[in-house]
Chain A
């Protein structure tokens, strides 16, 4: 079952197409990372899913309900934390938690207390007096204390130091086993460590959406060495991104790597190759090459 399912979801701001015909499915129990460069449409997508913004076209279902009809019953099962959320700054951390308690039938007092302790939140300090990282921790604690089925985190790590980031990720993974998590970020290093699914959005369009393991499996950095510079094959295969040539070495990224067929394809394209090295790529390198290719194509 999908926790989120969008069909041709679009959001326009006058002449700007912030999100364009987005088809997205987030399976239950997954940790879905929505990644992309700044201004790609991540936050707009999330705000549309959360019924903060109205879609211009298409539909979105969240927890089986049309996003336009999300109401108190659905929000009692959703935990939403955003980097730019306006919190009630006059409240103390303790008052925030006790204020929210009656809104949630599944509020777990013991767990709320433990979250405050684990995240090292000062109970009697007003949110206005907390640092940005502490405020996000407070928002996170107030969003986890009722065991939400669906946790949505919009750029929660932006501007946080690495210690706080690690604490947040740790709290999230330890405390939310079984929940579906959607996290948007452009900090790919963190995402890579714990996401199970990934969606890449750029210019408002979803470029791909797949399991992390299959993404890691299909991208390889290929380096071919020659005795003398070779002629490049024409047409250049569409799946081979970012070719760069220096002296007798050719480098590119294969976006459709297959352990059985790729070496053969390389040999066919470059019969004069002396050696070829095929290396797995970290997520960051994958996205950098994707972004560069998209920019070149544009």
Chain B
């Protein structure tokens, strides 16, 4: 733990300027998103566009950059690294990197969410589970794959090229396969509902986790890269082998038995601001 803390402090010192930029972006996002409004006016539309740009592009990019730089502080691929012949404990090293990302991405995001809720008229602790779930989802779906990619590359430029190569491959495959009516899993998962999407996410997260753990425990870069590359076609084409019909039936039954959609009501306040008055009421199997 002491070594992890020592490495963490070193990374904070090394990336202090990048940290300031990322934290400033998070603060700006929190302010803009907190002032989000569905009402149409030139000012609100401008703010909404800026918030959307931050949420959809700038913040994820800055997180990716920061997480990658943190990992590249002690690069894993290659045989020339200074740190591999020093008494580093690998678990402490991984712990330090995760601590860094949690401290400067997840925690600021959680605080930003609380701030946004407050500005929108909600108490932040109305739904602590929701806040934590959002943080966890961002970490698992967004940050973990970024860490995994940084584990098998030696520079941010290399990581960006890898992502571009994957995107281009997906586009080509989509183009080639779509005339034959064979979509990739990206398309299927949306059409098949949350069960397929969850399965997609699970494979995606498991692959990212496997790559990260494999690299930090053994530094077998080629094996880790193979896992990463194997995950891509699995995610793209795995959906074709799912029993879509039975999955759809199962998830429809689950939804029918658990949710009473008639209980959703929305009440608009006189001032124009709106509040969601009640959440969907979950009804147990005995109801």
A residues with CB within 8 A of B: 47, 50-53, 71-73, 75-76, 78, 80, 82, 84-88, 90, 99-100, 102-104, 139
Contacts and interface: CB of A to CB of B under 8 A. Distances in A.
Nearest to B85: A80
A75 B86 CA distance: 6
A78 B6 contact: no
B85 A99 contact: no
Nearest to A90: B14
B153 to A, nearest CB: 15
B10 A78 contact: no
B88 A86 contact: no
Question: By DSSP majority rule, is chain B's interface helix, strand, loop, or mixed?
Answer: loop
A75 B85 contact: yes
A72 B87 contact: yes
Contacts of B85: 50, 52, 75, 78, 80
Contacts of A47: 79
Interface of B: 2-3, 6, 10, 14, 73, 75, 78-82, 84-89
A188 to B, nearest CB: 25
A161 to B, nearest CB: 23
Nearest to B74: A88
A103 B88 contact: yes
Given A76-B87, A100-B86, A52 B14 contact: no
23 contacts: A52-B85, A71-B87, A72-B88, A73-B87, A75-B85, A78-B85, A85-B80, A85-B81, A85-B82, A86-B75, A86-B80, A86-B81, A87-B82, A88-B73, A90-B14, A99-B6, A99-B10, A100-B86, A102-B2, A102-B6, A103-B86, A103-B88, A139-B82
Given A72-B88, A78-B85, A80-B85, A103 B79 contact: no
Contacts of A86: 75, 78, 80-82
Contacts of B75: 86
A186 B78 CA distance: 24
A103 B3 CA distance: 8
Contacts of B81: 85-86
Contacts of A78: 85
Contacts of B87: 71-73, 75-76, 103-104
Query: Chain A CB within 10 Å — which of B78, B80, B87, B89 has the most?
Result: B87
Query: Chain B CB within 10 Å — which of A73, A84, A90, A103 has the most?
Result: A103
Contacts of A82: 80
A84 B85 CA distance: 13
A73 B10 CA distance: 22
A52 B88 contact: no
A52 B80 CA distance: 8
Given A72-B89, A75-B87, A90-B14, A102 B82 contact: no
Shortest beta-carbon contacts, A-B, top 8: A72-B87, A80-B85, A75-B87, A76-B87, A86-B80, A52-B79, A103-B87, A87-B82
Given A75-B85, A100-B86, A53 B2 contact: no
